[in-house]
Amino acid sequence: MARPAIADSVTLESDDVRILRALQIDPRVGFATVATVLGLSELTVARRYRRMRRAGVIRVIGVVDPGALGQSRWMVRLRCRPGSVTALAEALAQRDDVSWVALSAAGSEVTCAVRSRSQEQRDDLLGRRLPRAAAVLDLQASVMLRQFLGGRGHYWAALTGALTPEQESALGPGDRPFTEQPVVRNQPCQLSGHDEKLLAALAADGRASLVQLAAAADLTPGRASRRLHALLSGGVVHIDVEIAPTALGYQARANLWMRVHPAKIKTVGRAMAQMPEVGFAVALSGPNNLHAVVHCRDLDELFEFTSDRVGTLPGVEAMEVSPVFRQIKQAGTRVDGDRLIDPPSGRSR
């Protein structure tokens, strides 16, 4: 396997990639278990993981699904005045209810995902703050209707075959990349104050121990374990393994804004969910009714992928390919160049 480098700071070796794949299967798996399955020492696994964490290759975080709380999610495109786009994007990235921020169109457009936990929070951002911002020339907001891929579905092609089938089985069943689900639940979950504290601790470190989670949520370790299981099994939160794309050799990232025949949108969305280049796919309201985030090794591969594989899917009527000029935030994690960075008070395990 080739050894891709990230930001000239770390070179991934085969054992690093195997550890990444093990964490995809079970983000909270113990280092001792990984060591046993991979035939390494526990110290080696811990050392390699922490090295990748420091280098900004990986972050493991808990991500709350607003749909489980009865709130909708939105994709927003902002066309901005020249010279003002970076400041606006940075301001959006500082908000907890904005989970994805990217600059595209050579830096004149901001794309963001809004995951507000309350209607008031959402209306304040989309209905008042952004429309009144002097930097914004045009705003297009589309509600997410059906998610075809996302969360634990980030199965990079570079990790295919990193582990044997026997090793993957020993680590657990894992989640398939296909994760289609409704965006908003009919019966929203009600969170307690303890739940909120536990979710905040997971957002800082998805691998926090039960003792750490219990202390953060003012619970006993036993109660913290039961609440964590309930929140995970109920889909309120998932443990997301974020990997810097360049660490695995993906240099070209793009947003696809697609117009698909209504009768074919499920078929196209499900087909794209099976493609390893696709990290996120969702049906939207509006004329561009399917959105996807894709990762390719270079622009030539992006061209081949969009023209030969996506463009030929029955039902695809039009597609805008918008290469990402700069990624500022992904899945709640800030991005600095090619590195994933912790919040100022972030701790990792």
Is 304 in a helix, a strand, or coil?
Answer: helix
The pLDDT of residue 174 is 54
Residue 106 pLDDT more than 90? Answer: no
Residue 300 has a CB neighbour count (10 Å cut-off) of 10
pLDDT at 342 over 90: no
Q: What pLDDT digit, counting tens, does each position of 30-61 carry?
A: 999 999 999 999 999 999 999 999 999 999 99
Q: How confident is the model at residue 159 (pLDDT cuts 50, 70, 90)?
A: confident
Read off the pLDDT of each residue in 76-102 and give the average, rounded to a whole number.
91
pLDDT at position 8 is: 47
- Rounded Cα–Cα distance for residues 16 and 36 (Å): 15
pLDDT at 331: 81
* 212 band by pLDDT with thresholds 50, 70 and 90: very high
Which is more confident, 224 or 154?
A: 224
Confidence (pLDDT) at 316 = 98
Look at residue 161 in the predicted model and tell me its pLDDT. Answer: 84
At 4 the pLDDT is 47
Using one digit for the tens of pLDDT, what is the confidence trace for 84-93?
A: 888 999 999 9
pLDDT in tens, 270-292: 999 888 899 889 999 999 999 99
- Name the average pLDDT for the chain: 88
What percent of the chain lies above the pLDDT cut of 90? 60
Over the range 180-215, which residues count as b (16 or more CB within 10 Å of their CB) and which as e? beebbbeeebebeebbebbbebbbbbbbbebebbbe
- The pLDDT of residue 323 is 95
Which has the closest alpha carbon to 60: 194, 262, 203? 203
pLDDT at 1: 43
Rounded mean pLDDT of 322-343?
A: 88
Q: What's the whole-number mean pLDDT along residues 208-221?
A: 96
Is the pLDDT at 223 greater than 90? The verdict is yes
Q: What is the pLDDT of residues 224-249, one digit of tens each?
A: 999 999 999 888 898 888 899 888 88
Query: What mean pLDDT is predicted for residues 203-212?
Result: 95
Residues facing 238 on adjacent strands: 63
The DSSP secondary structure of 104-159, one letter per residue, reads EGGGTEEEEEE--SSHHHHHIIIIIIHHH-TTEEEEEEEEEEEEEE-GGG---GGG
Q: Is the predicted pLDDT of residue 136 greater than 50, yes or no? A: yes
Q: What pLDDT score was predicted for residue 224?
A: 97
pLDDT of residue 347: 46
Q: What distance lies between CA 332 and its chain's CA centroid?
A: 7
Taking 60 as the threshold, does the pLDDT of residue 22 lie above it? yes
pLDDT number for residue 59: 93
Report pLDDT for 115.
Answer: 87
Mean predicted confidence (pLDDT) in 181-197: 81
